[in-house]
């Protein structure tokens, strides 16, 4: 994927979420699927339960068919760390990526924007889907440092990430790369997993992200803070208010429920997702996806991402 270094995110959510494990759309013929030999290889490895507060999964993504591939990603609560092995992705906020939007390896923070992604058919990457808490524990800096932008790993020059890249650079097998990254994360985050969560703001984030608490006033009361103090702490740590984080979490739940359904019942999804009503859900989809729920569903390609069908980026 791509974005300009240290600029506002030209993309979601992984964030990125490139690794979905399905076939690809044909970028040359709207509405048609690419031929079977277009070639995309995915591997997924979920985080062990003890480390899931810090990262959710490792994934690899490799294109081998040479077909231009385009996707749109929407907001999520992941902080993707991308280590590229192929042609860089091009990524731009709100419109077709152009030359100069390439970013080989990067980390991306939380964002509310749609991200337009184009790749040449020769892109490949290893992706770590960190949580905002995990990004802070791994890097020692708050996730707000990456909010609404991507940062090149070269510019980040963080010793932990540099160590991981050095360990991976001579490994060519994807499974072996996953093994290496998994061992690295176990070492670096294992000690944090053994300790109780000490920060109330981390506890608050977990309650919102999981849907255990959906009202901000209730959350503030539960942890013993004023709503203003809670909002200030969220902004400092994550770059967004608790209300925005709650909106993203609810939107992601609705997306997940829709993807599980053969024919989504949007009224049921609105209720299960925690929306006031279906009209409320429609407004939120239009905010985060730029589409109504039904239009978003129809736009999904076999990657599980939305696509666009204008001319390829040049």
pLDDT tens-digit readout, 264-314: 999 999 999 999 999 999 999 999 999 999 999 998 865 566 665 443 333
Q: What is the pTM of this model?
A: 0.84
For the beta sheet containing 106-108, the strands, ordered from the edge strand earlier in sequence to the opposite edge, are 7-8, 149-152, 106-108, 79-84, 124-130, 55-63, 40-46
Do 16 and 127 form a contact (C-beta atoms < 8 A)?
yes
Element holding 189 (H helix, E strand): helix 174-194
Cα–Cα distance for residue pair 295/139, rounded to 1 Å: 38
Residues 86 and 13 in one domain: yes
In this structure, the answer to whether residues 136 and 253 fall within a common structural domain is no
Contacts of 235 (CB under 8 A, 6+ apart): 144, 241
CATH of the domain at 238: 1.10.10.60
Q: Residues, the chain, total?
A: 314
In a domain, 188, yes or no: yes
Q: What is the pLDDT of residues 122-157, one digit of tens each?
A: 999 999 999 999 999 999 999 999 999 989 999 999
Classify residue 89: in a domain, yes or no: yes
pLDDT for 209: 95
Residues 235 and 174 in one domain: no
299 in any annotated domain = no
Contact between 308 and 96 under an 8 Å Cβ cutoff? The reply is yes
164 - beta bridge partners? none
pLDDT tens-digit map of 76-113 = 999 999 999 999 999 987 788 999 999 899 999 999 99
Residue 298 lies in a domain: no
Task: Establish if 301 belongs to a structural domain.
Answer: no
Same domain, 156 and 13: yes
Q: What pLDDT, in 10s, does the model give residues 195-225? A: 765 689 999 999 999 999 999 999 999 999 9
Clarify whether residues 169 and 258 are in a common domain: no
31 and 158: one domain?
yes
Domain annotation covers residue 312:
no
Tell me 70's DSSP state.
E
Strand, coil or helix: 174: helix
Q: End-to-end CA distance of the chain, in Å?
A: 15
Domain count, the chain: 2
For residue 297, is it within any domain? no
234 and 163 fall within a common domain: no
Last residue of a domain, one of 160, 194, 228: 194
Residue at 123 is within a domain: yes
Both 107 and 239 in one domain: the answer is no
pLDDT (0 to 100) of residue 105? 96
Domain coverage including residue 104: 7-194
Regarding whether 243 and 153 lie in a shared domain, the answer is: no
Token couple for 75: 């907001």
Tell me which of 194, 224, 253 is where a domain ends.
194
Alpha helices in the chain (DSSP H): 132-139, 153-156, 159-168, 174-194, 200-210, 216-223, 227-238, 242-260, 266-273, 278-289, 293-299
Nearest to residue 54, comparing CAs of 202, 172, 256? 202
Same domain, 170 and 246: no
């Amino acid at each position: 994927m791509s974005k300009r270094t240290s600029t506002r995110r030209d993309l979601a959510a992984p964030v990125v979420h490139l690794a979905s494990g399905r076939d690809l759309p044909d970028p040359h013929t709207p509405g048609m699927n690419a031929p079977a030999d277009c070639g995309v290889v995915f591997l997924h490895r979920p985080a062990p339960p003890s480390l899931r507060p810090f990262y959710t999964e490792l994934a690899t993504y490799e294109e081998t068919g040479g077909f231009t591939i385009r996707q749109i990603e929407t907001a999520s609560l992941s902080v993707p760390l991308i280590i590229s092995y192929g042609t860089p992705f091009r990524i731009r906020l709100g419109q077709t990526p152009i030359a100069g939007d390439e970013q080989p390896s990067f980390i991306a923070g939380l964002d509310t924007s749609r991200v337009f992604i184009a790749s040449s058919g020769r892109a490949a990457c290893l992706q770590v889907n960190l949580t905002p808490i995990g990004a802070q524990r791994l890097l020692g800096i708050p996730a707000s440092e990456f909010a609404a932008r991507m940062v090149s790993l070269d510019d980040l020059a963080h010793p932990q990430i540099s160590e991981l890249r050095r360990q991976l650079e001579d490994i060519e097998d994807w499974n072996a790369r996953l093994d290496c990254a998994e061992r690295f994360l176990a070492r670096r985050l294992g000690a944090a997993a053994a300790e109780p969560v000490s920060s109330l703001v981390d506890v608050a984030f977990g309650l919102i992200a999981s849907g255990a608490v959906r009202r901000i006033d209730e959350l503030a009361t539960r942890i013993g803070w004023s709503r203003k103090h809670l909002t200030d702490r969220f902004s400092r740590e994550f770059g967004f208010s608790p209300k925005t984080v709650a909106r993203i979490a609810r939107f992601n739940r609705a997306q997940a429920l829709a993807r599980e359904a053969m024919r989504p019942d949007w009224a049921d999804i609105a209720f299960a997702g925690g929306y006031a009503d279906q009209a409320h859900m429609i407004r939120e989809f239009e905010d985060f996806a730029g589409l109504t729920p039904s239009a978003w569903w129809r736009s999904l390609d076999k990657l599980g991402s939305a696509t666009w069908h204008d001319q390829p980026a040049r």
